Amino acid sequence: MNATKERFGADALPELFEGAAKVVVAKGKKALVFDMRKSSAEDADFQKAVLGPSGNLRAPAVRAGKSWLVGFHEESWLDRFG
C-alpha cells in the first residue's frame, strides 16, 4: 500500500488493523502500546493516537507480522528491525 496515493481515515481502521495483535504508536518521545486483543480499532483513544491532524493514518505506518508501528519512535523501530 502507498499512503501517498491512498488515504486511510477512521472508517478504514477496523479493516486495516484486523488480525493485529499489537500496535505501537509514537507519541512524542514515548510510545503507546495497544494490545489489540483487548482494544478495538473503533476505540476513540486508539483512533486519536493513530490518526494525524488531517484525520488520516499517521506516517510512517508499517505492519510487521501481527504488529504495527505507527509514527516514528526510534527505540520501537530498533527493537523490531534492529
Condensed to tens digits (0 to 9), the pLDDT of residues 33-63 reads 999 999 999 999 999 999 999 999 998 999 9
C-alpha cell at 79: 527493537
* Residue 2: per-residue pLDDT: 63
Which residues lie closer than 8 Å to 61 by C-beta, 6 or more apart? 3, 50, 68, 69, 70, 71
Say if residue 4's pLDDT is above 80: no
Single out the residue of 22, 43, 39, 29 nearest to residue 73, CA to CA. 29
Say if residue 1's pLDDT is above 70: no
Share of the chain above pLDDT 70, in %: 95
